[in-house]
């Protein structure tokens, strides 16, 4: 089902608020992985506010859909999304990074409500997602598993081990996204360790692949609808995104993989998002 | 010592302004001038570990493998087989765990000349939390035969260790911090030899054995105890975890009969365990305690807070020394050799 105009407007508004909150948390926490959090904000928004079958009041509800942030350093984006969805009060975000708080840079599933899986070391999340998807089959449960993988993260051999397994076991209940922002820490993915032809790689590994604009809710919705209807095996949605999306001076600058914000920069970041509205 | 390269003038006396990682990058670059066999390797952490400094100077001798640590160590082994000397840099959690078997079986089993510079050791990654803390790396890599394991106390010692590891004809693992650890040494003018502990403070009542960023705090604690309570604390900077300086430990047992170890690492299997092995084999009575991260996953937080929480800062060391000084144990027949 295509998005209705009011749904699209609502998602855009939520994504904007999430981006604004990411900027604020980055400012008061002393620093965060802001670039990659902003690039995947629209994917998180459409999943958490349109598709995931979840109940924030019951984070442990056994039949809930599962979400795995394989690029675990995006924890700041995930935490903000969970707070907006009602898993915990937004005030808790004040404690992001603080000693002993529930919310660290890489979210801990034993501490933060709504976090299904702890991640942070690259190349582990997709394997855990395969495990969750296989478990649904064994337990005859209806849940679907969604996972966001980083493009740089896709250098890890374990991503491709998981890819092989998901195809082998024909995990149609598994949908993965690649946050294709074309950047990692040391620079552009194609300069550091080339990934292309990325879609052909996933296809060769037996996945159905959809390539979309990762900031276009209609395209994202179309690809997710395709994955939900598809009964054959796992689907990879390669979402073309912009690292730092929404904050003009961060966009496409690898230096903003991780950073802090204060004073004039913070004001500029806020103003840039205001213009997005 | 100073070096001028590509317009860059730098002395290790700038250690106050440079992090251990920055110093490492500069020293490696300087070594690279003299050793054409050195190659630099990283896994999307060239900037973060500062091996990128070497890469800028020697682009044809620097290789980034992307986020793929297993491949990183396998490739290093292949290069070393052909006579090159790879310096491999990534965070210590990933060097010791993500690439564990590649380090053990490809590099150590074949006794290859690979130098691992593992950064962000212990809990120094602070708010990044347990996924990025390496509180098990020393236990893990200490068990690998052929591997030399070094934990420098500060930037100056990191510089010395990086130079010294070139003299070791086999694999070396050097674990450094994130930076911003306070400086322990005033100058490079002290004897650094792999395998020989440095006595930072002489003492006869109790011996503190420590490594890495904890050394600074142990020295502070020893000063306070000497000045305020007249307690004489020997502080040994055990910068080499393997091979461990058995002689220095045995002297400490005989001379002080009380030993406490402190490390930014789990109490399971690291420096403390290495020292305990020697103490136990000495056959002498000795009040002994290991301090560090307990057998649990470390919490996230600001690095200073974590050191305080795990009682490996000056306050924690003072408290623990007090405890161990008050402990009773049975004297053995060699008791009179206590000084
Ligand atoms: C195994 C492992 N190696 C290295 C790192 C350090 N690290 C954190 S984020 C990152 C780059 C991630 O790039 P990408 O997956 O493209 O994420 P994005 O650009 O979307 O932030 C690296 C190397 C890590 N977390 N885990």
Strand partners, A69: A148
Token digits of residue A80 = 């903000």
pLDDT at B338: 53
The confidence score (pLDDT) of residue B15 equals: 60
The vertex-A191 CA angle with A186 and A197, nearest 5°, equals: 125
The CA-based angle B174-B266-B219, given to 5 degrees, is 70
Q: What is the pLDDT of residues B93-125, one digit of tens each?
A: 999 999 999 999 999 999 999 999 999 999 999
Q: Is the pLDDT of residue B9 over 50?
A: no
B66–A contact, CB cutoff 8 A: yes
pLDDT per position as a tens digit, A249-259: 999 999 999 99
Q: Please identify every residue of B annotated as catalytic.
A: 69
State residue B57's pLDDT score. 96
User: Distance between CA atoms of A137 and A166, rounded to whole angstroms?
Assistant: 12
Rounded CA-CA distance B52/A66 in Å is: 39
Q: What is the CATH number of the domain that holds A157?
A: 3.40.50.970
Which secondary-structure segment (H or E) carries B229?
A: helix B214-229
Is the CB of A65 within 6 Å of ligand 1?
A: no
Looking at residue B181, its pLDDT comes to 81
- Is the separation of the CB atoms in B191 and B134 below 8 Å? no
Q: What is the pLDDT of residues A39-97, one digit of tens each?
A: 999 999 999 999 999 999 999 999 999 999 999 999 999 999 999 999 999 999 999 99
Helix (H) or strand (E) holding B142: helix B137-142
Task: Look up tokens 């002395």; give the residue.
Answer: B11
Query: What size, in residues, is chain A?
Result: 277
Window A:40-99, CB contacts with B under 8 Å: 72, 97-99
Q: Identify which of B41, B42, B44 to mutate to test ligand 1's pocket (most ligand atoms within 8 A of the CB).
A: B44
Whether the predicted pLDDT of B336 surpasses 70: no
- Interface contacts (A, B; CB < 8 Å): 93
B13 pLDDT band (50/70/90 cuts)? Answer: very low
Check if the beta carbon of residue B171 is closer than 8 Å to that of residue B242: no
Tokens describing residue B69: 């640590």
**Interhelix angle for B20-34 vs B155-164, to 10°?**
30
Does pLDDT of A227 surpass 90?
yes
- CB contact (8 A) between residue B44 and residue A192: yes
Overall number of domains in chain A: 1
Domains of chain B in start order, with CATH, are 2-175 (3.40.50.970), 198-327 (3.40.50.920)
| pLDDT value, residue B7 | 30
Kindly report, residue by residue over B174-213, the tens digit of the pLDDT: 999 987 788 999 888 999 999 999 999 999 999 999 999 9
Is residue B198 a contact partner of residue B239, using CB atoms and an 8 Å limit?
A: yes
In A, which residues are within 8 Å of B97 by CB distance?
121
> What distance in angstroms lies between residue B142's CA and the mean position of ligand 1's atoms?
27
User: Could you report the per-residue pLDDT of A196-207, keeping only the tens digit for each?
Assistant: 999 999 999 999
Q: Does A185 touch chain B (CB under 8 A)?
A: yes
Give yes or no for residue A104 having a pLDDT over 80: yes
Chain A CB within 8 Å of residue B132 CB: yes
> How do beta strands A174-180 and A235-240 pair?
parallel
User: What is the extent of the structural domain holding A39?
Assistant: 5-276
- Give residue-wise pLDDT tens across range A134-182: 999 999 999 999 999 999 999 999 999 999 999 999 999 999 999 999 9
DSSP string of A38-97?
A: HHTHHHHHHIIIII----TT-TT-TTS-EEEESSGGGHHHHHHHHHHHTSS-GGGGGGTT
What is the structure's pLDDT at A277? 84
Convert the pLDDT of each residue in B222-280 to its tens digit: 999 999 999 999 999 999 999 999 999 999 999 999 999 999 999 999 999 999 999 99
Tell me the C-alpha to C-alpha distance, in Å, between residue A103 and each of B123, B148, B273. Answer: 17, 37, 33
Residue found by looking up tokens 């922002």 in the block: A181
Query: Which residues of chain A make contact with B66, given a CB cutoff of 8 A?
Result: 152, 155, 184, 189, 192-193
B7 secondary structure, DSSP code = T
Percent of chain B with pLDDT over 70: 92
pTM of the model: 0.95
A30 and A64 Cβ atoms separated by less than 8 Å: no
In DSSP terms, B259 is beta-bridged to B207, B288
Which chain A residues are closer than 8 Å to B309 by Cβ?
99-100
Q: What is the mean pLDDT of chain B?
A: 93
Report whether residue A78 contacts ligand 1, using a CB cutoff of 6 Å.
no
Q: Tell if the CB–CB gap between B67 and A184 is shorter than 8 Å.
A: yes
């Amino acid at each position: 089902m295509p998005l209705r105009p009011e749904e699209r407007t609502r998602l855009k508004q939520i994504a904007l608020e999430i981006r604004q909150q990411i900027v604020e948390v980055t400012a008061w926490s002393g620093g965060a992985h802001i670039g990659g959090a902003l690039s995947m904000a629209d994917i998180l928004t459409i999943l958490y506010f349109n598709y995931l079958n979840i109940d924030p009041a019951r984070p442990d509800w056994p039949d809930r859909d599962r979400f795995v942030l394989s690029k675990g350093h995006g924890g700041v984006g995930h935490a903000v999304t969970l707070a907006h969805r009602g898993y915990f009060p937004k005030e808790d975000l004040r404690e992001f990074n603080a000693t002993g708080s529930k919310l660290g840079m890489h979210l801990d599933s034993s501490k933060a409500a709504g976090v299904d899986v702890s991640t942070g070391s690259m190349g582990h999340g997709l394997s855990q997602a395969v495990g969750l998807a296989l478990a649904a089959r064994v337990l005859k449960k209806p849940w679907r598993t969604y996972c966001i993988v980083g493009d740089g993260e896709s250098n890890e051999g374990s991503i491709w081990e998981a890819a092989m397994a998901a195809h082998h076991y024909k995990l149609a209940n598994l949908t993965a996204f690649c946050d294709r922002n074309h950047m990692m820490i040391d620079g552009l993915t194609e300069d550091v360790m080339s990934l292309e032809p990325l879609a052909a790689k996933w296809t060769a590994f037996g996945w159905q692949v959809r390539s979309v604009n990762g900031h276009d809710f209609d395209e994202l919705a179309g690809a997710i609808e395709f994955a939900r209807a598809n009964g054959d095996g796992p689907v990879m949605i390669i979402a073309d995104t912009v690292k730092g999306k929404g904050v003009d001076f961060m966009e496409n600058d690898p230096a903003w993989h991780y950073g802090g914000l204060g004073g004039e920069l913070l004001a500029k970041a806020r103003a840039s998002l205001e213009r997005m509205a | 010592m100073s070096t001028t390269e590509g317009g860059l003038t730098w002395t290790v006396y700038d250690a106050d302004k440079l992090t251990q990682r920055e110093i490492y990058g500069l020293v490696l670059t300087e070594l690279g001038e003299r050793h054409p066999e050195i190659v630099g390797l990283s896994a999307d952490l060239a900037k973060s570990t500062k091996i990128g400094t070497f890469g800028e100077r020697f682009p044809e001798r620097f290789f980034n493998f992307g986020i793929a640590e297993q491949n990183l160590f396998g490739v290093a082994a292949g290069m070393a087989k052909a006579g090159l000397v790879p310096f491999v840099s990534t965070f210590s959690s990933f060097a010791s765990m993500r690439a564990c078997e590649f380090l053990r079986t490809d590099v150590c089993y074949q006794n290859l000349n690979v130098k691992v510079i593992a950064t962000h050791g212990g809990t120094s990654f602070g708010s990044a939390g347990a996924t990025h803390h390496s509180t098990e790396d020393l236990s893990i890599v200490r068990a690998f035969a052929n591997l030399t394991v070094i934990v420098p106390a500060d930037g100056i010692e990191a510089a010395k260790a990086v130079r010294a590891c070139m003299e070791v004809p086999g694999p070396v693992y050097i674990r450094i911090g994130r930076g911003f650890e306070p400086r322990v040494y005033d100058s490079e003018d002290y004897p650094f030899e792999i395998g020989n502990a440095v006595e930072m403070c002489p003492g006869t009542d109790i011996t503190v054995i420590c490594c890495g960023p904890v050394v600074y705090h142990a020295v502070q604690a020893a000063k306070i105890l000497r000045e305020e309570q007249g307690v004489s604390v020997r502080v040994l900077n055990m910068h080499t975890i393997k091979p461990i300086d058995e002689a220095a430990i045995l002297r400490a047992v005989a001379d002080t009969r009380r030993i406490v170890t402190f490390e930014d690492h789990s109490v399971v299997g690291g420096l403390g365990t290495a020292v305990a092995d020697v103490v136990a084999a000495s056959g002498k009575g000795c009040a002994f305690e290991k301090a560090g991260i307990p057998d649990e996953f470390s919490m996230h937080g600001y690095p200073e807070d974590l050191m305080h929480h795990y009682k490996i800062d000056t306050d924690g060391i003072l408290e623990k020394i007090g405890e161990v000084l008050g402990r009773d144990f049975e004297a053995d027949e060699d008791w009179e050799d206590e000084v």
